[in-house]
Structure 1
Amino acid sequence: MEYNVEEISPVKRKITVEVPAEEANAAISAAIALYRMQADVKGFRKGKVPSTVVESKFRKQIYGEATTDLINYQINEIMSGLAMQPMSRIDVDAREIVRDEDFSYAIEFEVAPTLDLPEYKGLPVEEADVFVSDEEVAEVESRILANNAEVKVIEDVRPPKDGEVASVSFGAYQGDQIVEGIQAENFDLVLGENQALPEFEDMLKTMTTGESGETDVTFPADFINEKLAGQTVTMKAKLHAIKERITPEMSDSVAQKAGFKDVETMRNGIRESYSSQRKQMNKAAAQSNLLNTIIDQITEFPLPPAMVEDRIDRLIKDLEYKLDRQGKGFQSLGKSPEELRSDFRGEAESTVKAEIFLLAVAAEESLDITPEEIESTLGQLAMQSRQPLHELKKYYEDNNLIVPLKDRLLCDKASELIYDAAEVTLVAAPTEGKKAAEKAPAKKADAATADGPQFASKAEAVEWAVANLGIKESTAKGYSLAKLQERADKFTEQEA
């Protein structure tokens, strides 16, 4: 076998392979030998069928498999000899082997570009220091106390208020038909925590124990049930009881119910948990900034097109999974497949650049991944996905995922090497107090008029509602501009 490598572009190679007739004949003979062992031909014992008979009877299969096996074997041999790692699928241009004739074929594939690596060690980078506010610890304490709250029925006959629990039976109706999935009996709804659409909660706040009521409700355009998104239904409900939540004082016994020794241990644990998570996040953000700074210095950075398209495919697959978990499909986004791919292209190109650069650094630094590291990573993945290790390992091997996994681990090693060699400066993290101070003037300006803010468009009203009323964007979008204006006016009156 002889071959010639041709550089089609900085990221594409073509290899032309010439195979003498003797090697082609040997591949055919090897395929025939395998068929002889398995062939079941009338008049012959298995394994004793003459080669000429086997070749005649199974010619199409034998020559096809001989061609494929020879090409696959030689591709592995060529790649090993060139120390070349294809970054795309290998396209093969070949005819079928012919006995006693020389055989030739060509393969094309994409490779990582050769980079002139800029300086990547000893560079300055800022990492935000870890800050955990007392308010954040108190917020977690509040949730723990809320989880330990006792619920007591209120005997007074009056409408329920925010913070109280309304025990209701309800159903959504379109005409005389109840909407499947939007109904419940004796459901405990905490008012004022955005657990239900505001129109429904507003109706409940006008009812007293034992009363029934109904109101029209319009579901948001991006409601989880796409059949109901944007639809108007009649919500009918009966208020059975009003309950109050009696929150206990923080004590060692409450902390123990949450899994801690005492209150002090609990508060330290909350703070340490926040600190650990925040440290990882801050370091990851600093690593990303440093990596982007280095990559931006590389002026010539051609990207393998197939690699970019593959990353776009993965991003779309991830999006599909997230939408599926929300009970939605791509149609809920209102974008064509081409628009989605265009939206993800920039992110995909950045990801590919980072991977190629880090693999180049790994090669420069002679980094490697041991079989034990592969095994350890698969073990962690198996635990996270709750799969048997041997099944996950077989899946990775059968689907050729070991090499991509190794590349990912190499990239992680290279990234750590670069960051460990960097001059890291810790900078003060913004406090919650500073953030609140920055937001305060905007809120004051919004509420400048006695009648509340006057919105020029629904988009402006939605943005204001999300920032000031604490409701979800999807919920706010389900309201009319007039309804949002009404709620803004009511909010301003309460604030005044």
Structure 2
Amino acid sequence: MDYTVEDLSAVKKKVSVTVPVEEVEAALSTAVSMYRSSVSLDGFRKGKVPVSVVEKRFKDSIYREATTDLVNVHINQIITELKCNPLSRIDFKGKELERGKEFKYEIAFEVAPEIELPNYEGFEVEYNKPEVNEAEVDEVLARINKNMSELVAVSEERKPQDGDIASIDFIAYDENGKEAEGIKADNFQMHIGERQALEDFENLVKTIPLGKEGEGDITFPADFINPEFANKTYTMKIKVHAIQERKLTPLDDEFAKKAGNFESLEKMKESIRGSYMQTRENLAKSQAQHSMVEGLLKMVDFPLPEGLVDNYMNNILVDMKNKLERQGKNLESLGKTPEELRNGARSDAESLAKVQLFLLAVAKKEGLSVEEEEVDRELRSIAVQGGHDYKQLKDHYIQNNLIFALRDRILGDKAMELMYSKAKVVEVEKKAE
């Protein structure tokens, strides 16, 4: 395999690759052999199907996989020899392997720019000393008590109130008295006061006594997740079948033993304080680290790879979409075009890209590296958090050339820790919010 490198810009390279016929034949033969060892065809024992039959029968899959595997091997070799890491997706331009022909293709990718780093040793950064107040501890205890509480059926004829769980039937009718499709439920378990439904709907439920029926007009908001109902008013008919209230237990040593096998309530409080403090110390450190990088970034200027910025914009918009959906809304509810949304995310995306490139430059200067075990450990963590199969996730990262970005992220974290260890950290009292 031979290749030539062309610098398309300060942050983008194009590599033209030529693969000789001998290497093409070897790649295809290897792929055919792997298929032959596992396929079963009528009239042949497993692993005994003639090579010519296997190649003819599974040609499309074999040639596609052989091409992908060969290109991935080349990419790793080229990146290693060039001593550079792609910052975004690697673009491939070429066809599939063919018997008896040399294979030519191109790859293009973005790389980090050269950055003249400022002196970060002894750089002064403030660390906001975290604290935990008793009100927060009490809130946790109350939440645990609520989760442990016993649900008791309400017998008197009263209305649902905050903290109750009401079992209701409801149905919606439009202005013509026609039943609205999609707004109906039987024995719906509604947690009152937890904002699981529209505020007006919940307020209406609170007006209906146990065992009774009631109705009222509800106008759906303009940004409702289902645009079919947005800005429309429906008459909601509701029946309250049952109400359950929570029976809380006293906050004492016995409660602490049941909640987590603590010796006493005070020991339980100490554990909650410690957990809060650990979380806030990590957050305070993270804030100090980012403040440090922001200060150092003001001293430098460098070009940004557009693909890297584009990736960050996509991530920002996906996060925005997920947050809105959790609120029962969608991106369209913001009243902006996709282009306007992307432009609005550009500033934050550029800031994130600058931080990443700066940290990679520090990592290069300090000779930091990432071992394969560290990448695997991070992939396993991602798999567990997302509920994915580790092997399938790793294959996805490899096939889509995402390993480089993951390695850069780990490398950036190392660079951040090293810079922070060399900074002059000044502890200050937490600023008033």
Q: TM-score, normalised by structure 1?
A: 0.68
User: Is 1:295 paired with 2:294?
Assistant: no
Deviations along 1:332-374, one digit per CA (max 9) or x if unpaired, are: 4432221222122112211211111111111111111122222
CA contact (8 A) 1:167 1:187 kept: yes
Distance in 2, Cα, partners of 1:141 & 1:316? 36
Distance in 1, Cα, partners of 2:424 & 2:153? 58
Residue aligning to 2:406: 405
Residue aligning to 2:336: 335
Distance change >3 Å, CA 178–CA 211, structure 1 → 2: same
Q: Name the count of aligned residue pairs.
A: 410
User: Is 1:309 paired with 2:310?
Assistant: yes
Q: Which amino acid aligns with 2:280?
A: R
Residue aligning to 1:281: 283
Residue aligning to 2:427: 426
Post-superposition offset of 1:267: 0.9
Q: Helix, strand or coil for the counterpart of 1:288? A: helix
Distance in 2, Cα, partners of 1:28 & 1:207? 76
* 1:156-305 pair list within 5 angstroms: 160=159, 162-163=161-162, 165=164, 167=166, 169-174=168-173, 175-177=177-179, 179-185=181-187, 187=189, 189-190=191-192, 194=195, 196-204=197-205, 206-240=207-241, 245-261=246-262, 262-299=264-301, 301-305=302-306
CA contact (8 A) 1:170 1:235 kept: no
Q: Helix, strand or coil for the counterpart of 2:293? A: helix
Q: Which amino acid aligns with 2:256?
A: A
Q: Helix, strand or coil for the counterpart of 1:258? A: helix
* 1:124-163 pair list within 5 angstroms: 124-147=124-147, 148=149, 151=152, 153=154, 155=156, 160=159, 162-163=161-162
Distance in 2, Cα, partners of 1:15 & 1:343? 34
Distance in 2, Cα, partners of 1:186 & 1:103? 63
Residue aligning to 2:372: 371
Q: Which amino acid aligns with 2:355?
A: A
Q: Which amino acid aligns with 1:169?
A: I
Distance change >3 Å, CA 413–CA 203, structure 1 → 2: closer
Deviations along 1:58-100, one digit per CA (max 9) or x if unpaired, are: xxxxx999999998877665544332333355567789999xx
CA contact (8 A) 1:129 1:282 kept: yes
Between 1:131-140 and 1:384-393, the stretch displaced more is 384-393
Deviations along 1:6-45, one digit per CA (max 9) or x if unpaired, are: 544322345678x7xxx85656776897899999xxxxx9
Q: Which amino acid aligns with 2:83?
A: A
CA contact (8 A) 1:127 1:424 kept: yes
Post-superposition offset of 1:278: 1.2
Q: Which amino acid aligns with 1:172?
A: I
CA contact (8 A) 1:173 1:235 kept: yes
Post-superposition offset of 1:386: 3.8
Residue aligning to 1:457: none
Q: Helix, strand or coil for the counterpart of 1:419? A: helix
Deviations along 1:96-131, one digit per CA (max 9) or x if unpaired, are: 999xx9999876543211110111222111121121
Between 1:142-151 and 1:338-347, the stretch displaced more is 142-151
Higher Rg: 1
Distance in 2, Cα, partners of 1:164 & 1:111? 55
CA contact (8 A) 2:89 2:401 kept: no
Post-superposition offset of 1:47: 7.3
Post-superposition offset of 1:415: 0.6
Q: Helix, strand or coil for the counterpart of 1:339? A: helix
Post-superposition offset of 1:172: 2.9
Distance change >3 Å, CA 326–CA 253, structure 1 → 2: same
Distance change >3 Å, CA 107–CA 232, structure 1 → 2: closer
Post-superposition offset of 1:409: 0.9
Q: TM-score, normalised by structure 2?
A: 0.76
**Pairwise CA RMSD of aligned residues?**
4.4
Residue aligning to 1:494: none
Between 1:311-320 and 1:355-364, the stretch displaced more is 311-320
Deviations along 1:267-311, one digit per CA (max 9) or x if unpaired, are: 112111211111111111111111111112103x10111222222
Distance change >3 Å, CA 215–CA 14, structure 1 → 2: closer
Question: Structure 1: which 5+ runs fail to align?
Answer: 40-44, 49-53, 55-62, 436-496
Deviations along 1:367-426, one digit per CA (max 9) or x if unpaired, are: 111222223223333332344443433333333332222211111100110111111122
CA contact (8 A) 1:172 1:179 kept: no
Q: Helix, strand or coil for the counterpart of 2:260? A: coil
Deviations along 1:165-200, one digit per CA (max 9) or x if unpaired, are: 47453313122415535433374653x554554444
